[in-house]
Amino acid sequence: VKVDMYMNLEGEQKDPVIFSTSFDSKVMTRPDTDSENWTPKMMAVEPTDKQANSKTRRQEMMREAGRGIESAKSYVVDVRVHVPGESESETVLTLAWSESNVESKGRLLGFWRVEMPRSNADYEVCIGSQIMVSPETLLSYDEKMDQKPKMDFNVDIRYGKNCGKGEKIDMNGKLRQSPRLKELVGATSIIKDCVEDMKRGNKILRTCQKAVVLSMLLDEVDISMEVPSDALIALYSQGLFSLSEIDNLDVSLDVSNPKNAGKKK
């Protein structure tokens, strides 16, 4: 699907502002979706074609979004904005993501490029991120009782005149269920009712389905970041300090090397 818009603005500007957007989706197939193609960490991918409305870029990013995810379906949105005149600029933004009804995995990729020919200014940002929840789909609460739910994610950002050769921000995160939350969940009426149902041989009734969802709640987050400048470290630190002012949040900060790690519960 592709949509083009032309806007004639008032004033001395004679050429129209051009806005175009494309949307596409693709059901991924093997060998792209084979599990061995899933990597523990997602890296930002620099497109081979950076021109506006590039079908090659859209296909590349959809393929990367669904790589290693069983029964994945990938989507992509591609936007172009061209502003003519004295401050002529060309902006390209492409986002691709995936989802699956079989595996609790997903990816998000992004590419942003701004060109200003008259001032010889170019800037790019490439983003790669992924998330994985475990354990995978559970059919009954008794399968979950001995499992420790968790969510792992990472974000890789490259930016500069050329994102393949620019600066880098790397973020890694883990979400876990604390022993305190596990105890609180186990004491709820939903869990107790489910346990009674299981004793009677009923593992898949609605109560136990709710128990599975409830038992997957996560409340502990560990985030580590590698950033290239003191300014970004200061910004990140200030954000965590702001979070520490929120009730029921326990936030700690460690800055070193130049890695900073934040933890909140």
Would you write out the chain's pLDDT as a tens digit for each of its 265 residues? 677 766 666 555 568 889 999 999 999 999 889 989 999 999 999 999 999 999 999 999 999 999 999 999 999 999 999 999 888 999 999 999 999 988 999 999 999 999 998 888 899 999 999 999 988 766 677 766 677 899 999 999 999 999 999 999 999 999 999 999 999 999 999 999 998 988 888 877 888 888 888 988 999 989 888 888 777 777 777 777 777 677 666 766 676 654 444 444 4
Report CA torsion sign: 241, 242, 246, 248: negative
Name the residue with tokens 């969510």.
Answer: 151
Q: What distance lies between CA 146 and its chain's CA centroid? A: 28
Does the bond joining 31 to the residue before it have cis omega, within 30 degrees of 0?
yes
The span from the CA of 29 to the CA of 47, in Å, is 21
Residue 38 corresponds to which amino acid?
W
The span from the CA of 142 to the CA of 163, in Å, is 48
